[in-house]
Amino acid sequence: MRTRRTRLTVLAAATALVLAGCGGGDAETPAAGETEAATEGGSEGGAEGTITIGIKFDQPGLGLQDGSEYTGFDVDVAKHVAEQLGYGEDQIEFFESPSAQRENLLQTGQVDMIFATYSITDARKETVDFAGPYFVAGQDLLVAADDDSIEGPEDLEGKRLCSVTGSTSAQRIKDEYSAGVQLQEYPGYADCVTALVAGAVDAVTTDDIILAGLASQPTNAGKVKVVGNPFSEENYGVGLPKGSENCEAINEAITAMIEDGTWEQLLQDNVGESGYTPNEELNPPTPEPCA
Amino acid sequence: MTLSDYLDQFAELFATFDVLGAFWQIVRLTAVSAVVSFVLGTVLALMRISPIPSLQWVGAAYVNVLRNTPLTVIILFCNLGLWAQLGLNLASPTSQTFFEQNNFRLAVLGLSVYHAAFVCEALRSGVNTVPVGQAEAARAIGLGFLPTARLIIFPQALRGAIAPLGNTLIALTKNTTVASAIGVAEASALMKTMIEFRPDVIIAIFLTFAIGFVILVLPVGLVVTSLSRRLAVAR
């Protein structure tokens, strides 16, 4: 009898722990320090706890994990915005957010915000909120450094084009510009660049700033170049969980960093080496009003 | 959300995306790779049970290397290594659908060499169910190694190897999804596309593919189980 009672107690305790764990994941994260931070506005080191920010880990120039360090334009903007929300650099936890998982990570509260080349689209607005945009990218082409035959998407007829599985960019070229283009798809842009350097494909397509980041990598420097003729408009926003209270504060932080020149400096530091300059008509952008 | 909302989502997904085409690609990859890997695996099994030590060694080395290499690595090597670096074209480079054909064949190559190692081991386990007396009797009536294997050992071994061969076939069916790593437009590639375009109906997307694979794989399992019972050699 005694052992049975002990077992029951243990079981009850374990169940309670599991339930507590489940509840915490959803409810705690947004409340942990964010609301506090929002009211305190720009005060330094005001917020307690940590903030989890979703970034790419594999995109040079934007979000790249380098040992225990994180580098890139998205990462630097994220640090700057977090600082304005009251989180010091030691209070930020970076979390990998691959494209396909971004909505899910926000909905389940695993990350508090996302800076990961996240284009603002209507379909995504159904499930998440956006602050920003903090950058306007455009689809462009990356070609071999000595290739002058490709100057825009119209020149790809009969050529071999590489992009990432499930991305919108390659399909757009096929549908709108060159119906005769051949598409190769890989899981990551690094594979595409490998194939481009080997001469197996003629061009790689995605947003210009991503291509510029790839072109600035030491191993690719001098072998590839960004064509510099963007033909679409991708508004990179800050992904937030639905109903987040931080949107206004983030927009203020973005506007401030554009006005004081930090934005341009960060861009130059991260992708300037490839000789890339963003589309000047659209950059720097003005954040949209929060919903 | 009510049930009819979910059904609407499924209908919408099937109308927008070529789900059946993606699963058809899985069936094609599985069928071709199954045949090629069975032939290759049989040759390997022959080598491993042959009386020639150098052939035994080659067979064992092949199985141990290929079986212990991740499939993604093999498939990616077929594309980025054999094709992009070394220029191995498995389709006419001037073809309008060059990438489609070339990637499909490279994927079949990768899947086949990988699963041949498992087919070889499955067959070898079947060979072990055949009593030594069978081989001795075959030698006693003057049959050489190949006729012994073809007429006496393999017909019996195959019946004992149905279950492990079936498991390999099921694994192969699911492993074909790795072919998306080199851009073959099969089910997992379509799933990524669907998640990118329709993140709002993610549950319906996952269910579509989970159910699709169950529909593909479940009959294989049932057939294999009943065959392995019916064909088992009663000893």
The 3-state secondary structure of A100-161, one letter per residue: HHHHHHHHCCCCCEECCCCECCHHHHCCEEEEEEEEEECEEEEEECCCCCCCCHHHHCCCEE
Burial A147-158 (b: 16+ CB within 10 A, else e): beebeebebbee
> Which chain B residues touch A166 with a CB distance below 8 Å?
189, 192-196
Is A103 in Cβ contact with B199 (below 8 Å)?
yes
CA–CA distance, A257 with A259 (Å, rounded to integer) = 5
Q: What tokens appear for B150 in the block?
A: 């073809």
Q: Does B84 touch chain A (CB under 8 A)?
A: yes
Residue of B99, B183, B196 lying closest to A100 (CB–CB)? B196
CATH T-level fold of A139-226: D-Maltodextrin-Binding Protein; domain 2 (3.40.190)
- A264 Cβ contact partners less than 8 Å away, ≥ 6 residues apart: A284
Residue of A99, A104, A186 lying closest to B182 (CB–CB)? A186
**Chain B closest-CA separation from residue A287 CA (Å):** 24
Q: What SS3 state is found at A226?
A: strand
- Give me the number of domains chain B comprises: 1
Q: What is the ipTM of this complex?
A: 0.72
φ, ψ for residue A139, nearest 5 deg? -70, 135
Is A182 in Cβ contact with B99 (below 8 Å)?
yes
- Going from N- to C-terminal start, the domains of chain A cover 29-38+46-137+234-274, 139-226
Question: How many helices (H) does chain A have, and how many strands (E)?
Answer: 10, 13
- Residues spanned by the domain of B139: 3-231
Is A127 in Cβ contact with B192 (below 8 Å)?
no
CA–CA distance, B19 with B13 (Å, rounded to integer) = 8
Task: State how beta strands A58-59 and A63-66 pair.
Answer: antiparallel
Peptide bond preceding B53: is omega within 30 degrees of 0, i.e. cis? no
Q: For B188-209, what is the mean pLDDT?
A: 85
Q: Does A165 touch chain B (CB under 8 A)?
A: yes
Q: What tokens appear for A94 in the block?
A: 């970076």
For residue A32, pLDDT over 70 is answered with no
The pTM score is 0.73
- The pLDDT tens digits of the residues spanning B57-66 come to 999 999 999 9
**CATH for B85:** 1.10.3720.10
Is B199 in Cβ contact with A127 (below 8 Å)?
yes
In CATH, A29-38+46-137+234-274 is 3.40.1170.10: no
- The pLDDT tens digits of the residues spanning A70-106 come to 999 999 999 989 988 889 888 999 999 988 788 889 9
Is A124 in Cβ contact with B84 (below 8 Å)?
no
- B231 Cβ contact partners less than 8 Å away, ≥ 6 residues apart: B159, B162
- Closest-CA residue to A37 (of A2, A88, A1, A73): A88
CA–CA distance, A129 with A172 (Å, rounded to integer) = 25
Q: Does B193 touch chain A (CB under 8 A)?
A: yes
CA–CA distance, B23 with A23 (Å, rounded to integer) = 38
- The pLDDT tens digits of the residues spanning A195-218 come to 999 888 999 998 888 898 888 888
> Contact A90/A51 with Cβ under 8 angstroms?
no
Is B195 in Cβ contact with A184 (below 8 Å)?
no
> Which chain A residues touch B192 with a CB distance below 8 Å?
100, 165-166
A29-38+46-137+234-274 and A139-226, same CATH topology? yes
Q: Does A100 touch chain B (CB under 8 A)?
A: yes
> Which chain B residues touch A183 with a CB distance below 8 Å?
99, 183
Give the chain A residue nearest B196 (alpha carbons).
Answer: A100
- The pLDDT tens digits of the residues spanning A170-183 come to 777 777 877 778 88
